[in-house]
């Protein structure tokens, strides 16, 4: 494991939190998110702590600024700074090992709460139901509307920014570690698999394991995903995710078989010229003059063509 440096807020040592908010980041500045959460401090009575993990950013200026900010917080908070990157699964597992609450909220650093009582709403849910797992939902309410993000925006609105009712149709599928509540005993039994590398599917695979023994709740406590990608960046992430998709298929074939992405990949797998198809749709995605919806459809087809090699 990488060497870690700890920086604590004044309230950290004496706090006995009920909820731990776990925020990993790599080369992002989580200060804006931290400030928004800190605004709720007077109403939380020390029941919520923040644990941040810098997963090997290596930016001395950012580290110094964050350490200074943490030491001024009213919320109980700890900043863990790593000297080298450990990856998405190992990083989140390390965050979990530092958490002291009985419930943990995994919150990505590029998320922004969509309500001023965001932490209070999560705390109220814990006090009312103490759920094993709950996902609060995505939105793009505060996200940038630049043209370069139009394709990602189109895909996210169609497949990720869904209502509670829509997510409940496949509870384990619509679980992302960007706004995810997990009870301590559940995570102790099922941690994130460190064998996943690159981008994608480690959170959904985790939810598939958890769903065997626990209800996966979906609630309306949304946060905006600010980190929209350019089309080229999103394509690169899909290209990284094919091996992870194969790993999920091997472990949960019955569940994955119900997913449209799997069915599309199986159809493409039968095509004699699937390599040519992949090249054509990739080129289509990159045509800026096409409508965003058409490019988003082509990008989903490109992902299915990539996944065809894994099914």
Tens of pLDDT along the chain (311 residues) come to 567 889 999 999 999 999 999 999 888 899 999 999 999 999 999 999 999 998 878 788 999 999 999 999 999 999 998 887 777 677 778 888 899 999 999 999 999 999 999 999 999 999 999 999 999 999 999 999 999 999 999 999 998 999 999 999 989 889 888 899 999 999 999 888 877 777 778 888 888 999 999 999 999 999 999 989 999 999 999 998 888 888 889 889 998 898 888 999 999 999 888 889 999 999 999 999 999 999 999 999 999 999 998 88
Which CATH superfamily, name and number, covers 4-228? Spore Coat Polysaccharide Biosynthesis Protein SpsA; Chain A (3.90.550.10)
Residues whose CB falls within 8 Å of the CB of residue 163, separated by 6 or more in sequence, listed in order: none
List, in sequence order, every beta strand (DSSP E) within 73-139: 77-82, 103-107, 111-113, 133-135, 138-139
Question: Which segments of the chain belong to CATH 3.90.550.10?
Answer: 4-228
Give kind and range of the element (H or E) at residue 48: strand 48-54
Contact status, residue 138 vs residue 156, Cβ threshold 8 Å: yes
């Amino acid at each position: 494991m990488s060497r870690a440096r700890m920086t604590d807020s004044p309230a950290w040592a004496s706090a006995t939190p009920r909820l731990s908010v776990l925020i990993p980041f790599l080369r992002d500045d989580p200060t804006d998110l931290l400030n928004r959460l800190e605004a709720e401090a007077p109403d939380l009575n020390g029941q919520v702590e923040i644990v941040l993990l810098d997963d090997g950013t290596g930016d001395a200026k950012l580290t110094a600024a964050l350490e200074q900010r943490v030491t001024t917080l009213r919320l109980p908070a700890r900043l863990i700074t790593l000297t080298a990157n450990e990856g998405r699964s190992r990083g989140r597992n390390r965050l979990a090992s530092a958490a002291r609450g009985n419930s943990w909220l995994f919150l990505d650093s590029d998320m922004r709460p969509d309500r001023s009582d965001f932490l209070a709403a999560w705390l109220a849910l814990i006090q009312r139901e103490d759920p094993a797992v709950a996902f609060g939902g995505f939105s793009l309410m505060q996200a940038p509307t630049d043209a370069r993000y139009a394709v990602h925006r189109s895909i996210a609105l169609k497949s990720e920014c869904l209502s509670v009712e829509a997510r409940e149709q496949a509870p384990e599928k619509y679980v992302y570690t960007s706004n995810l509540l997990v009870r301590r005993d559940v995570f102790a039994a099922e941690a994130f698999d460190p064998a996943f590398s690159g981008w994608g599917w480690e959170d959904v695979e985790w939810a598939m394991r958890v769903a065997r023994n626990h209800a996966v709740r979906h609630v309306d406590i949304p946060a905006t995903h600010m980190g929209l990608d350019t089309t080229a960046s999103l394509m690169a992430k899909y290209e990284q995710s094919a091996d992870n998709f194969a790993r999920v298929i091997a472990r949960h074939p019955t569940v994955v078989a119900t997913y449209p992405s799997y069915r599309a990949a199986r159809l493409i797998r039968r095509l004699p010229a699937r390599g040519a198809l992949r090249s054509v749709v990739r080129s289509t995605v990159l045509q800026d003059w096409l409508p965003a919806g058409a490019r988003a459809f082509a990008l989903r087809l490109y992902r299915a063509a990539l996944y065809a090699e894994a099914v």
